[in-house]
Amino acid sequence: MITKVMMPEMGEGVVEGTVARWLVGEGDFVKQYDPILEIETDKVTTEATAEESGTVLQICVAEGTIAPVGTVLAYIGEPGDALPENGEVKAAVPTLEPEQTIPAPATAVSPAAPTPPNQPYTGRISPVVSRIAAEHKVDLNQIEGTGLDGRITKKDILAYIEQRSQPPTPEPAITSEPEPPLSSPPAMSPSPTVSPGHRVTLSPASGEILPLTNMRRSIAEHMVRSKQTSPHVTTIFEFDFTNVDKHRRAHKEQFARDGANLTFTAYIIAATVAALKKHPLVNSTWTDNGIELKPEINMGMATAVDDGLIVPVIKNADSLNLLGLARSINDLAQRARSKQLKPADVQGGTFSITNHGTSGSLFATPIINQPQCGILGVGMIEKRVKVIDDAIAIRTMAYVGLTFDHRILDGASADNFVATIKEDIENWR
């Protein structure tokens, strides 16, 4: 029996995905639940697995192709099995987005036909193309679509935006009688054309262009939007982690027997959750109608991955004890780095923490993960010399900063929140 490998549903509102990389080739034998390809969306990269054991008979969608949810990506079966001959395979090879009709005039215009200037584009585009066009103020009439019947794909609009951002090449000045140069300059190489998905090496003076991945583009858009949306302010405290360090050393083996690696992050999240309960204004979102207080506490934890940064979310973190938090942290971090996260794993956060100190950083001013109120940044936890009761002591210290939305919090309310976390950490028992 032939099994179809379909583009899965990647979460609410996610209507398409990109085939980032095939992990198998045609003719390879795969076992049930073996990973067979990587699928990338604007927020997450994850692996799809084989639903049944068998041989990969045909790969229908090439790497780098955007495919709607439900598209047949490949067929798995027994060698010699006949593939469907009803056009299903051809229909499954998508280089376009799922259709979304843009309001059009009464007279229909063919998508492939040129549209008169200053008239709205009346072809069919995906929600992703529609969003990108709105954000970058793109006139779709200026783009030549490469999809079926001339439709504009996500690849087309991103290539157009990239080309539009390049400065125009100045026209050479023309004189009636140009004089010969004193010496012939070295010949200049023509500027190469950079197409999405290809890495192009330029001249040493120009450097090298690295094409943007979906994740890098999404991070860039989110960071710019956050800085444009919220007035960012950062307050920094110094925390004494000595008691937490003692507790961790005393209980690390016990937690390991229970299947959890006990890290400082678990303590930080536990203390932050307790502080959010005491200061509910921090667990909120700004809206035009007022400040929306979130009833649940869903803790985002920024996690570095090979090609960027992702923020998986611990749902209902206030319902977990220290062991439960440690297990959730281990699970989400491991799945983030092995590309096993699902879109639901990175949605619904109400507050975030970034442990930038793992790379040796002491101070940082992280950017708010919109639409949240703030983000807590924890610097490197290390032993330092401190003066305590007029005596020199060696303590386990770190700088902890809160970047917050100044529309929601003022300096005093932000400092009171961080002070609550500090008190909990320093008096841990």
Of 162, 39, 15, 24, whose CA–CA distance to 96 is shortest? 15
Whether 406 is catalytic is: yes
In the chain, helix, strand, coil percent, each to 5? 30, 25, 45
- Greatest Cα pair distance, the chain, in angstroms, is 88
From the CB of residue 216, how many other CB atoms can be counted at a distance below 10 Å? 14
Of 261, 249, 265, 220, whose CA–CA distance to 356 is shortest? 265
DSSP 111: T
The CA angle 283-406-136, to the nearest 5 degrees, is 95
6 near 70, Cβ under 8 Å?
A: yes
CA-to-CA distance for 265 and 367, rounded, in angstroms?
19
Instruction: List the strands of the sheet with 66-68, edge to edge.
Output: 45-49, 35-40, 16-22, 66-68
Tell me phi and psi for residue 196, to 5 degrees: -55, 140
Question: What's the sign of the alpha-carbon dihedral 360, 362, 364, 370?
Answer: positive
Whether 136 is catalytic is: no
- State the catalytic residue, choosing from 81, 410, 415, 424: 410
* Lookup: tokens for 222: 């989110």
Question: What's the sign of the alpha-carbon dihedral 24, 27, 28, 29?
Answer: positive
Tell me phi and psi for residue 372, to 5 degrees: -75, 170
Instruction: State how far the alpha carbon of 263 is from the alpha carbons of 129, 273, 355, in Å.
Output: 42, 16, 11
For 91-94, the CB contacts below 8 A with 24+ separation are 92/60, 92/61, 93/60, 93/61, 93/65, 94/61, 94/65, 94/66, 94/67, 94/68
Cis peptide leading into residue 371 (ω within 30°): yes
- State the catalytic residue, choosing from 139, 345, 406, 415: 406
Please report how the helices 264-278 and 322-337 are oriented relative to each other, as an axis angle in degrees rounded to 10: 120
Question: What's the sign of the alpha-carbon dihedral 21, 25, 26, 31?
Answer: negative
In the block, residue with structure tokens 């442990």: 355
CA-to-CA distance for 169 and 193, rounded, in angstroms?
13
> Looking at the annotation, which residues are catalytic?
406, 410
